[in-house]
Amino acid sequence: MGLSLDKDWWRQAAIYQIYPRSFKDSNGDGLGDIKGITSKIDYLSSLSIDAVWLSPFYPSALADGGYDVDDYRDVDPKLGTLADFDEMLLKLHEVGIRVFVDIVPNHSSNRHIWFQEAIASEPGSAARNRYIFRNGKGANGELPPTNWPSHFAPSAWSHESTQGGKGNQWYCHMFAPEQPDFNWDNREVHDEFLSTLKFWADRGVDGFRIDVAHMLKKDLSEPLQDQDKYPGLTNRKPGQDILFDRDDVHEIYKEWRLLFDTYNPPRVAVAEAYAPAERLARYASPEELGQAFNFELLEANFNAQEFKTVIDRGLAAAKSQGSSSTWTINNHDQMRPATKYGLNPTVDRLRWKNSGGTTHPLDEVSGLNAAIAASMLIMALPGCTYIYQGEELGLFEVLNIPEDQIQDPQYLRNNKADKGRDGCRVPLPWTSSGSSFGFGDGKAHLPQPQWFAEKSIEKESHDSKSPLSIFRTALKLRSQLIAPEELTWHETGNKHILHFSRPNGWHCITNFGGGYYDFMGLLGEKAEILHSSQPLTEAGLYLIHGQISAADSLPPATTVWLRLPQ
Ligand code: GLC
């Protein structure tokens, strides 16, 4: 199978996120690697996906799981070589799967050659001007230049002496101190990233996921100003915040688009940007990146009205710019949805996670059912669907990672206030036994719990009712059912039910409530049941209003797809 030159291939794609260090380890060192991905192309192919997005695989000391990049144009030697990457790309393309790589333009790592040069250079030098260095406040410059907070530390400023600098300046890092922010007011930085994008696009990479795309531009005019509120919620006009989602960031992406459009088909990109839906649309416009992640579902509870509000907003925002929507219920930064939905919505998830899951009970059955139902719902929406590795297995968040094995700076750097994101980054279970459940021959870099045996790809592949089997069928059907990017809502008279259809007669109904929903009664005999997130017949015979009813009732936390004659 070759790749088509259709320039719109991405608009309704199914894209699978690989977190390379936790996908498959081919050499037994406990870290997933590029050859590991290549060895699992049959598996990826069996998912009927259009593309994979690879989280960073670049050389990195892993201060932030690889989002601290030492060299943007190489593969971490622990994960392989550029030749391994090329081989993976070729083989994925051969089976019709395209590849997105993650571009991290807001910050490099402190080991990047530019930062090393900057630290060794004088204040005011060209080398320092690639980053954000400033003198401190206080009589001797002993205080940070501003009150800007960092995501992974109390202050966004660290003194250069912490990095071996001999002067008395501070440098800015919106994330960990090992992640110094670039100065995007410097033309050299623009050119450097254009070269990096070209480097990967020339190799045949099809698209880019842009890390914290809303943060690159800051108000660096002198004197630097304090931020009055965090995060980005200032009294300033939209687009004029000091640090986030500034209007001038869009100049960068307009230039990138010119580069993307020199390829056939044009390269595509998706922004990871945190901004209100109407502002997010600008990142997604055809003159800029083309798409932006809609993260509102990550915040939503498994609730019909919350989902509907987000869907309507997302579709309207994408339409306003001629983009297509993106849908996702998880990624490498988020609690696994089967866990999230299994908690009572009133529970404080962070406190619950920090307690090791002891403060409140987790309803695993409902959580898992809801997660698969939500995945099938978003797959049926107009636009792209993003799947995060392990979502297709119905994995839960891994709790209780021993303190000395926690890797996430969100925990280590924030006074241990948040157990962090390692629980959704634990290496995948490929088999139900063996060392690291088939992830590799060695010990996995994060500890895997015993319950992974029940959730392995091996086990779920042999069970027609497993999450994996449901996903496989759903994604295959989805690829055949893709219809024009429109949606019609159908009134259900039940606030727990969402029902919409696509122009080709593809109907999707999700039951968010606790009761059963008689959908066949409403749709009539001609409706053909295509697939459901739980086996409908297995759900048994129900006594509904005194009548026995079988496969025509939708159990709680279930999605069904149907086709109606046009
Ligand atoms: C993005 C990534 C996250 C990382 C951060 C800093 O939000 O998804 O994993 O920690 O950027 O690069």
Tally Cβ neighbours within 10 Å of residue 101: 24
- The rounded Å distance from CA 332 to ligand 1 centre is 9
Which of 22, 172, 212, 216 has most ligand 1 atoms within 8 Å of CB, for mutation?
Answer: 212
- Kindly report, as residue ranges, where domains of CATH 3.90.400.10 are found in the chain: 113-172
Q: Is 69 in the pocket of ligand 1 (CB under 6 A)?
A: no
Q: Is 371 in the pocket of ligand 1 (CB under 6 A)?
A: no
pLDDT of residue 538: 40
pLDDT band at 528 (very low <50, low <70, confident <90, very high): confident
- The rounded Å distance from CA 545 to ligand 1 centre is 51
Q: Which residues are known catalytic residues?
A: 211, 272
- The rounded Å distance from CA 458 to ligand 1 centre is 31
CB 470 within 8 A of CB 372: yes
- The mean pLDDT value for 503-526 works out to 86
- The mean pLDDT value for 428-453 works out to 96
Looking at the predicted structure, is the pLDDT value of residue 270 above 50? yes
Q: Beta strands 290-292 and 133-135: pairing type?
A: unpaired
pLDDT of residue 145: 98
The pTM of the full predicted model, rounded to 2 decimals, is 0.96
Q: Is 437 in the pocket of ligand 1 (CB under 6 A)?
A: no
- The mean pLDDT value for 81-100 works out to 98
Which of 17, 62, 175 has most ligand 1 atoms within 8 Å of CB, for mutation?
Answer: 175
Which two three-digit tokens encode residue 343? 């908690």
- Kindly report, as residue ranges, where domains of CATH 3.20.20.80 are found in the chain: 9-104+294-469
Architecture of the domain made up of 9-104+294-469? Alpha-Beta Barrel (3.20)
- Best-predicted range by mean pLDDT (21-35, 140-154, 238-252, 550-564): 21-35
pLDDT band at 547 (very low <50, low <70, confident <90, very high): very low
Looking at the predicted structure, is the pLDDT value of residue 526 above 90? no
Query: Which residue's C-alpha comes closest to atom 5 of ligand 1?
Result: 67
Looking at the predicted structure, is the pLDDT value of residue 177 above 70? yes
Q: Is 211 in the pocket of ligand 1 (CB under 6 A)?
A: yes
Q: Is 293 in the pocket of ligand 1 (CB under 6 A)?
A: no
d(CA 511, CA 369): 11
pLDDT of residue 525: 67
- The mean pLDDT value for 152-159 works out to 92
Q: Is 549 exposed, middle or buried (0-12, 13-18, 19+ CB in 10 A)?
A: middle
- The rounded Å distance from CA 527 to ligand 1 centre is 44
d(CA 79, CA 71): 14
pLDDT band at 227 (very low <50, low <70, confident <90, very high): confident
- Worst-scoring range by mean pLDDT, 167-171, 207-211, 402-406, 498-502? 402-406
- The rounded Å distance from CA 446 to ligand 1 centre is 19
Looking at the predicted structure, is the pLDDT value of residue 360 above 90? yes
List the CATH code of the domain at 487-563: 2.60.40.1180
pLDDT of residue 234: 56
d(CA 54, CA 556): 34
* Residue scoring higher pLDDT (32 or 4): 32
pLDDT of residue 413: 80
Q: Is 460 in the pocket of ligand 1 (CB under 6 A)?
A: no
Cross-strand partners of 107:
181
Q: Is 274 in the pocket of ligand 1 (CB under 6 A)?
A: no
- The mean pLDDT value for 329-333 works out to 97
pLDDT of residue 51: 98
d(CA 19, CA 23): 6
Cross-strand partners of 271:
210, 292
pLDDT of residue 509: 96
- The mean pLDDT value for 285-290 works out to 96
- The rounded Å distance from CA 104 to ligand 1 centre is 8
Q: Is 206 in the pocket of ligand 1 (CB under 6 A)?
A: no
Which of 18, 67, 101 has most ligand 1 atoms within 8 Å of CB, for mutation?
Answer: 67
Q: Is 212 in the pocket of ligand 1 (CB under 6 A)?
A: yes
Q: Residue 331 CA: which ligand 1 atom is closest? A: 8
Tally Cβ neighbours within 10 Å of residue 323: 25
Looking at the predicted structure, is the pLDDT value of residue 520 above 90? no
- The mean pLDDT value for 237-245 works out to 90
Query: Which residue's C-alpha comes closest to atom 4 of ligand 1?
Result: 67
Among 182, 180, 184, 165, residue whose Cα is nearest residue 121: 165
Q: Is 175 in the pocket of ligand 1 (CB under 6 A)?
A: yes
Proportion of the chain above pLDDT 70, given as a percent: 95
Q: Residue 67 CA: which ligand 1 atom is closest? A: 12
- The rounded Å distance from CA 212 to ligand 1 centre is 7
Per CATH, which fold does 113-172 belong to?
Oligo-1,6-glucosidase; domain 2 (3.90.400)
- Kindly report, as residue ranges, where domains of CATH 2.60.40.1180 are found in the chain: 487-563
Q: What is the pLDDT of residues 14-70, one digit of tens each?
A: 999 999 999 999 999 999 999 999 999 999 999 999 999 999 999 999 999 999 999
Q: Is 102 in the pocket of ligand 1 (CB under 6 A)?
A: no
- The rounded Å distance from CA 410 to ligand 1 centre is 10
Q: Is 441 in the pocket of ligand 1 (CB under 6 A)?
A: no
d(CA 332, CA 17): 9
